[in-house]
Amino acid sequence: MAFACAALPYAGLAAQLAACKLSPLHNFWSHIFDFTPAADKKAANWRLLPAGTSAASVLGAALPAEAAALVEAGQQLPAERATALSTWGERPLPDAAATPLFLLFPPGQAAAVGELVAAQKLSDDAAEERPLLVRTNEAVISAELLKQMAAAASWKDTKGLSAGSKPCVGLELAGGSKEQREAVVAAAGKLGALATEDEGAAKVFRYLGVDG
């Protein structure tokens, strides 16, 4: 089996996800659990397809005309682009993207975070030479876990994160130039986000809610 992250926005996608109470930021596409793992890891039952894999290449043909038209129209709609996010996932990071960056946003900022990702052109496209969007998540943080994250990241004031009540949003990024990273951090700061290059805080938040 092979897995990839396909961002296919179309008109109405954001509303449909909201109606189903599904968060596009609660994204574990590459966190695969193999119920029957092979004894030899070289003979794994699954693999992750390379970043940038298109839906057409997976299907072996171009999208049907009607579907392609819907996706093309969706690309022009900010709300839909901010909903369909492509993440790097568990693939090994390229050498140029070795430096991590974790952003943690207070509750109620999910839509704004999607817009920030779109505005800053964050994606799984390593050719863009911008910070890679590695993982996203939206989850409630307990007071104890928030304490652990604050200690790892040296955050002194976390009151705005409302631990234990409403879900916060986390973005894991990697790489990018100093100027690009500073621009992303500045934009995130306007939304009340905390930032750190310490991966410890990111690891605590990374898979919260994976069990539903």
pLDDT band of 211, cuts 50, 70, 90: low
Burial class (CB in 10 A: 0-12, 13-18, 19+), 55: middle
* Residue ranges covered by each domain of the chain: 2-206
* Domain at 2-206, CATH from 3.40.50.720, 3.40.50.2000, 3.30.360.10, 3.30.70.141: 3.30.70.141
Which pLDDT value is given to residue 59? 67
83-130 pLDDT tens trace: 878 899 999 988 877 889 999 999 989 889 988 998 898 888 877 778
The answer to whether residues 132 and 202 touch, using CB atoms and an 8 Å cutoff, is: no
Number of CB atoms found within 10 A of residue 183's CB: 15
Distance (Å, whole) CA 100 – CA 7? 23
Compute the mean pLDDT over every residue in the chain, rounded to the nearest whole number. 86
Which of 3-12, 100-109, 179-188 bottoms out in mean pLDDT, i.e. has the lowest? 3-12
> In the chain, what percentage of residues exceed pLDDT 90?
42
Sheet holding 100-105, edge to edge: 132-139, 168-174, 100-105, 194-196
Distance (Å, whole) CA 6 – CA 142? 32
34-70 pLDDT tens trace: 888 877 766 688 899 888 777 667 666 677 888 778 7
Positions of E strands within the chain: 2-3, 47-48, 100-105, 132-139, 168-174, 194-196
Does the pLDDT at position 82 exceed 90?
no
The answer to whether residues 85 and 27 touch, using CB atoms and an 8 Å cutoff, is: yes
Give me the mean pLDDT over the 74-80 stretch: 72
